[in-house]
Structure 1
Amino acid sequence: MSSTTYDYTLTRVLDAPVENVWAAWTQPEHYARWSGAVLPSISLDVRPGGAWRATMATPDGSEFPLTGTYGEVVENERLEVIMDLPGGESTVMAVGLTADNGKTRIVLSQTCATAEARDMSEQGSGMLLDGLSAYVPTIS
């Protein structure tokens, strides 16, 4: 087994306060609006060890379930989303938030087992951040 890992990090500055960005990640009614997840499939028990699940819808209309748990949870600062993978494996996506004069700097990072998994995850995370960037300014 190889010990090589494949990492990526994406950074954005979002035009919304950190509390709104946190709410978008942690409240099902907000999460559904930007993530591609379908209500009522979303369950987010946002605490260390808490379970989450969501059924994601793709642009072609197909749906696929995602499940996992949370690792570190620091309100308005850090969220570790542990995603279940086939074969009993898992991967951790870390989301860091920093308040910046009414805006939020978000840093999303993940370590993957293969270059292909990294490339797919990075593309998916970029799409998530695009949706999040468009949605969070609308939260009032």
Structure 2
Amino acid sequence: MESLKKVTVETTIQAPVEKVWEYWVEPTHIKKWNAASDDWHTPIAENDLRVGGEFRSRMEAKDGSFGFDFGGIYDEVKVHEVIAYTLGDGRKVTITFKGHDNFTKVIEIFDAETENPIEMQQQGWQAILDNFKKYAEQTTR
């Protein structure tokens, strides 16, 4: 199997790492931010956040025209620091959380899939991350 190209997306959120982590991992929050654009949403999110635990989210166009399941199994979980998982198709993803005072940098590195152009994948993942940033900064607990 050829090695897959790794793609990085990142953002800095004006919120402490504890809040950022909670919003990233709790299904009630995931359903509110996990979309690349306003015409998509995530009606189902399940998360068993532990090594060997599974997660799944159902991403759908709001008009019902298209949807897909996104999920995998956790390889590493360090609270407020790192989440790593393997997707259903074998690709790897690592998310690093770097908290400093009232800011948290979130860095996602993922194996690109081979069906779509890498630029398109990077834009899609970055759009979801940007949506997460907006949600985390505007939402109070």
- Name structure 2 gaps, 5 residues minimum: 36-40
Asked if the contact 1:48/1:71 (under 8 Å) is kept, the reply is yes
| Range moving further from structure 2, 112-121 or 71-80 | 112-121
Tell me the equivalent position of 1:119: 119
Amino acid at match of 1:64: F
Distance 1:57 1:116, change over 3 A: closer
Distance 1:59 1:130 in 2: 19
| Range moving further from structure 2, 120-129 or 42-51 | 120-129
Is residue 82 of structure 1 aligned with residue 86 of structure 2? yes
| Range moving further from structure 2, 62-71 or 111-120 | 111-120
Tell me the equivalent position of 2:136: 136
Percent identity among equivalent residues?
A: 26
Is residue 70 of structure 1 aligned with residue 71 of structure 2? no
> Which of 37, 42, 45 is the aligned partner of 1:38?
42
Would you tell me which structure has more helix in proportion to its own residues? 1
Superimposed CA distance per residue, residues 16-62 of structure 1 (whole angstroms, 9 cap, x where no aligned partner): 111111112211001111003534x2110000110111110235532
- Name structure 1 gaps, 5 residues minimum: none
Distance 1:64 1:4 in 2: 25
Distance 1:130 1:91, change over 3 A: same
| Range moving further from structure 2, 18-27 or 30-39 | 30-39
Instruction: Give the superposed CA RMSD.
Output: 2.0
